[in-house]
Amino acid sequence: MSQRTTPPLRALWRIARATFAAAVFGALALGLLPLLFGSRWLGSGARRRGGAADLEAQRILHRAAQLYLRIVTAAGIVRVRFVDIDPLQRNGPHLVVANHPSLIDFVVLCSLMPQADCIVNPVRARNAVLRGLVRAAGYVRSDAGPELVRECSERLRSGRSLVVFPEGTRSPVGGLGPFQRGAARIALSVGCDVLPVVIRCDPPALWKRWKWYDLPDDPIHVTVRLREPISAQSIRGSGVSSPLAARRLSAELRESISKGLEEGAGDWARPKHSNKS
C-alpha cells in the first residue's frame, strides 16, 4: 500500500490483512478436527498419548502448516526464509530450542519438520481454536510438573523430535526473555545434542502484548536459521552437579540464539547463501 495512503485507510488495510490471516488459520484448524479425531483413532490404543495417532496427527499438521504459509505468502502477508535447516527436515530425534518472537513461530517450524512434538503453554492449550489440535497431536503442557522432563525424554529416546521455546512465552520486543531450564534438563536426561534455532521477524509483528491485527503494511519477513548443535553429553560428563549442568547448558543455548539474532540482522538484505521456502 502506498505511503501516501491516509492513516484511516492504512489502519483498515492492516485489519483486513490480519483478519484474512486469522480466518484462514481458524478455518484450517477447525476443518482439521474431524480428520484428526476420526473414527479410526477412537480406540484406547490409538488415543494414548505418545501413540501412533499422535504421530499421524503431527504429520497432518505439518502439511496444514505448509498450506497455511503458502496462502499467507501468496496474499503478501508473510515471507519465510530458511537458512541451513537441512538437518531439521530429516527424521529425528531432534531436540530443537528456539526463541519465540511472534505468534506464527511454531507454524513455521511445524511446516519445516515432518514430525515434531511441542511443549505448549497452558493458555494456548486451553484456547478454543487450538485445544483440539493440541490434544490430537499429543503435545505436552508446560504445567505438567515433574512428568514433563520424563515424558519429553521418553519421546526423544523413541526417535521423536521435540520443539521447545525456553522463554515459556513470546519474546520481549527486540530481545530475548530469560530461559527456563526445562529444555536443558530434558537434553541432559537423554544426553543428546540440542539444535538452537534462531527466528527473526522483520519488521516486528505479532509480538507479546501486541494486538493481533497490528500488522505492518508490508510483508512480515520471517527468517529461520539453524545454529551449530550444542552437546548436552559433554556438559553431563564434566562432573558438575545436575542443577549446575542445567544452568550451564541453558546459558549456552541463550548465548547461541542471542548471537544468531545479532548476526542475522541483515538476512533479508543479503538474499544469497540461503535455502528459500
Give domain limits for the chain. Answer: 7-266
Q: What is the dihedral of CA 211, 216, 220, 226, to 10 degrees?
A: -60
pLDDT in tens, the chain (277 residues): 545 556 778 788 888 989 999 999 999 998 988 887 763 444 444 444 556 778 889 999 999 999 999 999 999 999 999 999 999 998 889 999 999 999 899 999 999 999 999 999 888 888 888 988 998 899 999 988 889 999 999 999 999 999 999 999 899 887 899 999 999 999 999 999 999 999 999 888 887 777 777 888 889 999 999 999 999 988 987 778 899 999 999 999 999 999 999 887 666 554 443 444 4
Class of the CATH-defined domain 7-266: alpha beta
